[in-house]
């Protein structure tokens, strides 16, 4: 099941539990605006090439729309739509004053030079500059984009609207980016896990963790679990996988990966088949890579007691049912990986105030938001007698529906 179908299914189930009116349910599913633009740039050799850029703005009832911009060959409208909708529920669960958006350009960033990427980003910004803004829609980096991309968008946007650092988040620190933003998603995953474990009378110390994906999110999560006394027993990424039942020294593994570019040949662990990572013996499984990795085929073999969804949509609905029947507790993506958008909100707040925070304040506030959101989800689970995923969806959908009704949606 693709991301859009799964998101719609979860939304409809939440709407049913909440007893939403069918007219408002339909209205909440349809995006506020979909934008499709043509971006033509001269390549370095002088030839012209055209790309298609998208921006889906899903909902703005709770505040400006917020979501990443990805540069990827398979940026297609359905997926962008699902991710925009997911951002609406995610920001509502985290209780930050945003709605959801998502965008991207169908291109292969590795096939473009630095200056071609800059030209493409500037042309895309020229086409959408009057549809984004500090109080309208605030983009951020995603797959294939980074702080440099955001710097170009900020500069191009500012040519039309004056210096506006709050128009994008995930910027370089020198241009008003926030301290702690780099680690934010991984750190949020750890705070979310701590809140869940505390509910079960456990803590990170002494538990075993298997982590799929060792990019930004996975490496930060592994490092922070390790520092808190957790034992990371298996790690994988696209280059391979390693395991050590006595615990991997994460700092040494990070140094090895920086030096060699891959996980293999690390002296402190044995080689593992990447496909076996998800079924490793561990207490907590943390998928941080792609969507749809836990499916009907492998869910029955998962041995973890807790699954923390650091990736977007890693568990398909069939796997969800199988794992629930086994008594595995799943912490859903729309809550577990909300640390990134929460610190993006802190960055936006700092830019608007023109007053920057130190890193301790960023982390303290992030912990407060993640912990509060967990208790709000648990409250929904108790009042609607549902699992954590439906607890999170009902919490998010209910907040957006209430804001929509209060603003007078029929007028």
On whether both 244 and 326 belong to a single domain, the answer is: yes
- Return the closest-CA partner of residue 344 out of 142, 156, 52: 142
- pLDDT tens column, 118-135: 999 999 999 999 999 999
Identify the CATH number of the domain in which residue 261 sits. Answer: 3.40.50.720
The stretches of 200-269 forming alpha helices (DSSP H) are 216-227, 250-260
Q: Does residue 273 form part of some domain?
A: yes
For the chain, 411 residues long, give each residue's pLDDT as a single digit of tens: 677 788 888 999 999 999 999 999 999 999 999 999 999 999 999 999 999 999 999 999 999 999 999 998 888 888 888 889 999 999 999 999 999 999 999 999 999 999 999 999 999 999 999 999 999 999 999 888 999 999 999 999 999 999 999 999 999 999 999 999 989 999 999 999 999 999 999 999 989 999 999 988 999 999 999 999 999 999 998 888 999 999 999 999 999 999 998 888 888 888 888 888 889 899 999 999 878 889 889 889 999 999 999 998 899 888 999 999 999 999 999 999 999 999 999 999 999 999 999 999 999 999 999 999 999 999 999 999 999 999 999 999 999 999 999 998 765
Write the Ramachandran bin of 323: left for phi over 0, alpha for psi from -120 to 50, otherwise beta: alpha
**Is-contact 170 183, C-beta < 8 A?**
no
User: What single-letter DSSP state applies at residue 315?
Assistant: B
What pLDDT, on a 0 to 100 scale, did the predictor assign at position 17?
96
Residue 119, domain CATH: 3.40.50.10860
Point out the domain boundary residue: 147, 174, 201. Answer: 174
The pLDDT value recorded for residue 2 is: 74
The CA-atom distances, in angstroms, between 121 and each of 69, 102, 179, 354 are 10, 15, 24, 26
Are 133 and 275 within one domain? no
Identify whether 249 is part of a domain: yes
Q: E-assigned strands of 25-171?
A: 33-42, 48-57, 65-72, 99-106, 137-141
CA distance 9 to 3: 10
Residues 170 and 186 in one domain: no
**Residue 147 belongs to a domain:** yes
Whether residue 280 is found in the same domain as residue 194: yes
Residue 275 has what DSSP assignment? Answer: G
Q: Is residue 283 part of a domain?
A: yes
Task: Provide the domain count of the chain.
Answer: 2
The pLDDT score that the predictor gives to residue 1 is 60
119 Cβ neighbours under 8 A, 6+ residues apart: 41, 42
Domain extent, residue 300, equals 182-336
Please give the C-alpha separations between residue 162 and each of 122, 135, 157, 166, 167, in angstroms, as whole numbers.
16, 15, 8, 12, 11
- Pair 254, 204 in one domain: yes
* Binding-site residues: 66, 90, 185, 216, 344
State residue 3's pLDDT score: 75
Both 69 and 170 in one domain: the answer is: yes
CB-CB contact of 138 with 167 (8 Å): yes
**Residue 82: what pLDDT?**
86
Looking at the structure, do residues 132 and 40 belong to the same domain, yes or no?
A: yes
Is there a single domain that holds both residue 187 and residue 168? no
Per-residue pLDDT tens digits for 279-307: 989 999 999 987 888 988 988 999 999 99
- The answer to the question of residue 365 being in a domain is no
Tell me, yes or no, whether 65 lies in a domain: yes
Residues 254 and 165 in one domain: no
Catalytic machinery residues: 102
Same domain, 110 and 162: yes
Q: Do the domain assignments include residue 345? A: no
Q: According to the model, what pLDDT value does residue 346 have?
A: 98
Judgement on whether residues 201 and 147 belong to the same structural domain of the protein: no
Domain boundary among 174, 204, 236: 174
Q: How far apart are the first and last CA of the chain?
A: 37
Identify the domain boundary among 336, 367, 384. 336
Annotated binding-site positions for substrate: 66, 90, 344
Q: Does residue 156 lie within any of the structural domains?
A: yes
Per-residue burial over 54-68, b = 16 or more CB atoms within 10 Å of its CB, e = otherwise: bbbbbbbbbbbbbbb
Judge if 246 and 274 occupy the same domain.
yes
């Amino acid at each position: 099941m693709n991301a859009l179908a799964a998101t719609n299914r979860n939304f409809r189930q939440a709407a049913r539990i909440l007893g939403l009116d069918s007219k408002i349910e339909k209205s909440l599913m349809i995006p506020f605006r979909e934008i499709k633009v043509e971006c033509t740039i001269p390549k370095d050799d002088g030839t012209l090439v055209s790309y298609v850029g998208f921006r889906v703005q899903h909902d703005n009832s709770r505040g400006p729309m917020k979501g990443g911009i990805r540069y990827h060959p398979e940026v297609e409208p359905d997926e962008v739509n699902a991710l925009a909708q997911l951002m609406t529920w995610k920001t509502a669960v985290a209780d930050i004053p945003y709605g959801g958006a998502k965008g991207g350009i169908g291109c292969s960033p590795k096939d473009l030079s630095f200056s071609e990427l800059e030209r493409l980003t500037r042309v895309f910004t020229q086409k959408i500059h009057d549809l984004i803004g500090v109080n309208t829609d605030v983009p951020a980096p995603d797959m294939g984009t980074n702080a440099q991309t955001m710097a170009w968008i900020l500069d191009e946007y500012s040519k039309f609207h004056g210096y506006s650092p709050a128009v994008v988040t995930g910027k370089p620190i020198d241009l008003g980016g926030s301290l702690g933003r780099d680690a934010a998603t991984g750190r949020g995953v750890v705070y979310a896990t701590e809140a869940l474990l505390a509910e079960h009378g456990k803590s990170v110390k002494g538990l075993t963790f298997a982590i799929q994906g060792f990019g930004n999110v996975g490496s930060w999560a592994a490092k922070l679990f390790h520092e808190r006394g957790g034992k990371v027993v298996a790690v994988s990424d696209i280059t391979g996988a390693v395991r050590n039942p006595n615990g991997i020294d994460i700092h040494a593994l990070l140094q090895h990966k920086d030096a060699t570019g891959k996980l293999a040949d690390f002296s402190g662990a044995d080689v593992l088949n990447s496909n076996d990572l998800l079924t490793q013996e561990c207490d907590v499984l943390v998928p941080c890579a792609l969507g749809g990795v836990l499916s009907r085929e492998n869910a029955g073999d998962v041995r973890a007691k807790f699954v923390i969804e650091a990736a977007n949509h890693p568990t398909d609905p069939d796997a969800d049912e199988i794992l629930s029947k086994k008594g595995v507790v799943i912490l859903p993506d729309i809550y577990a990986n909300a640390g990134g958008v929460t610190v993006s909100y802190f960055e936006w707040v700092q830019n608007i105030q023109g007053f920057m925070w130190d890193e301790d304040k960023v982390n303290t506030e992030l912990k407060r938001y993640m912990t509060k959101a967990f208790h709000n989800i648990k409250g929904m689970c108790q009042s609607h007698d549902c699992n954590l995923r439906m607890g999170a969806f009902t919490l998010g959908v209910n907040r957006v529906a209430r804001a929509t009704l209060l603003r007078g949606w029929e007028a």
